[in-house]
Structure formats: structure tokens, C-alpha cells
Chains A and B, each alone.
Chain A
Amino acid sequence: MLNITRRRGERVVLGDDVFISVLEVSGQTVRLGIDAPRSVRVYREEIWLEVKRENEASAHASGASLPADLPAPLKSDSGEGTRSNVVNPPPQS
């Protein structure tokens, strides 16, 4: 990992268009300012990580077939405009 020492007010540049500024240093806390193109997504690592883990848990959960016999949802018609593809049920395992 690259290690760079910076003081308050100094910046690091990633590529040509991502600028990370050290705004404030106070005890164990560092405030960073991030100036990046709109297309660059910026997350706090712990939030990114928990969503990544939840996505993986969803993709890997057992049960190829979801239960058909469900309690009635709050509303039955979702009104979703996005079209889906009807496929054969997964093979029972």
C-alpha cells in the first residue's frame, strides 16, 4: 500500500480528477474532503462493505425456489413498470 504523509490543507490526487483534501485533524479523527467527477461513487467503507455482504448473502442464500404460499402482502399489485421474463421454475433439489 502506498503511504503518503499529508498536513491539514494538503491534498492527494488520484488520476487526473479525484482530489482528496485533509480538511481537519483532531485527535483520532481526520476530516477529508473529496472532489471527484459525478460518475465516481464515494462510500464510507463500512457502509460499502455491509451492502456488499448483504448482496452476497442474497445471491447465495439457499432455496432455489422461494415459497409460493405466502402471507398476503400489504398490496398485491406492485404497479411496477419494469418488465420481467417468465421462466420455468428452478429444478427441485
Chain B
Amino acid sequence: MALAIESTRFGHVEIDPETIIEFPDGLIGLGGTRFALLTSDPNSPFLWLHCVDDPSLSLPVTDPHRFFSGYEVELTDEDAERLGLDDATPVDVFVTVVASSELSEFTANKRAPILVWNGQGHQIINQAPDTDLRAPLFAEVMGSAGDPS
């Protein structure tokens, strides 16, 4: 049975309980323990990570690989052990997006990606090099002069 929430952003929303992602530690500094991904446009690269228990908490997220070639996530040994993750675990990676009225001002947080697997989510501190906190989201896709091949 669908779970209904009255979202501040989207109004009445029904969530399939099977899509709920448990965040045992919440988002860093924000909390929240149960989230679901929402989209009003399945073709959009953006999803909304919406807290199930707080109708006013939602963040736009995207798959960083759509915008940043060569983006990598590297865990500390402590995080890898804490989360029980190894290289073989299939994990979906999302980054939070700060939206703006101008495309050029959209940024994504490459430093603290959100990892989702087996119905659970964790926001971690990325140890890889080149992890801007406010990476211009469209710099690469708009900056390439060559034809996409």
C-alpha cells in the first residue's frame, strides 16, 4: 500500500514503500532516516531525495557520472568497513545539487556523495582527488565544443 505524504514541495505524494531508502545515519548535519526518490519527469537527470518523515525536507540529486567524466568515489578504510562495502558491491551514486535560476550557477557536491544499495543510503566523505564541494554542474556538458560521439 502506498505511503501518502503531504510534501511542501510537491503537495500530495504517494510513495511505494518498496522504494524507501533507509539512512541509518541520516544526511550529514541534516538527519532524516527514511527517504524516497521522486521525479516529476522521468527524462530529467534530476531526482528529488525526499524525506518520508519530514514533508519539508527534499534535495535535488543526480547521478554524477552524467555530468562529470571520470568521477570516482573513494572511501576511507573505516567507512568501507563500517558500511561493509567492497569494490564488488553494486552501488548507486548520487550527488546533491544546489539549483539556481541560471544553469551556470548550478553546483553539485562531489565531496559528499550519497551511496545507495540494498535499500539503504549513506552520505560519505569522498577521499578521491578533485572533489569540489561546489562543482559547476554544467561546466563539462556545456563547455565541450566537439561533437558528442
Q: How many residues of B contact A (CB 8 A)?
A: 61
Most buried by A among B28, B46, B60, B68: B28
Contact with A along B38-73 (1 / 0, CB 8 A): 111110111100000000011110010111110000
- CA of A78 to CA of B42 in the docked complex: distance in angstroms? 12
Known contacts A38-B82, A80-B92; decide if A90 and B29 are in contact (CB<8 Å). Answer: no
Say how far B109's CB is from chain A's closest CB, in angstroms.
Answer: 5
Known contacts A80-B92, A86-B39; decide if A51 and B109 are in contact (CB<8 Å). Answer: yes
Q: Are B29 and A75 in contact (CB under 8 A)?
A: no
Main secondary structure of the interface of A (DSSP, over half): loop
Say how far B2's CB is from chain A's closest CB, in angstroms.
Answer: 9
- CA of A88 to CA of B42 in the docked complex: distance in angstroms? 11
Q: Are B99 and A66 in contact (CB under 8 A)?
A: yes
Q: Are B40 and A49 in contact (CB under 8 A)?
A: no
Q: Are B19 and A85 in contact (CB under 8 A)?
A: yes
B148 at the interface (CB under 8 A from A): yes
B18 at the interface (CB under 8 A from A): yes
- Inter-chain contacts of A71 with B (CB < 8 A): 103, 138, 141-142
- CA of A59 to CA of B79 in the docked complex: distance in angstroms? 25
Q: Are A87 and B103 in contact (CB under 8 A)?
A: no
B128 at the interface (CB under 8 A from A): no
Q: Are B38 and A78 in contact (CB under 8 A)?
A: no
B116 at the interface (CB under 8 A from A): yes
- Which residues of B1-53 have CB atoms within 8 Å of chain A's CB atoms? 9-11, 13-16, 18-19, 21, 25, 27-30, 36-42, 44-47
Q: B-contacting residues of A (Cβ < 8 Å)?
A: 38-39, 41-43, 47-59, 61-68, 70-76, 78, 80-91
Instruction: In the A-B complex, list the 5 residue pairs whose CB atoms are closest, starting with the nearest.
Output: A52-B29, A84-B37, A73-B66, A78-B63, A89-B40
A/B interface sample: 7 pairs, CB < 8 A:
A55-B30, A67-B103, A74-B69, A76-B66, A78-B65, A85-B19, A89-B41
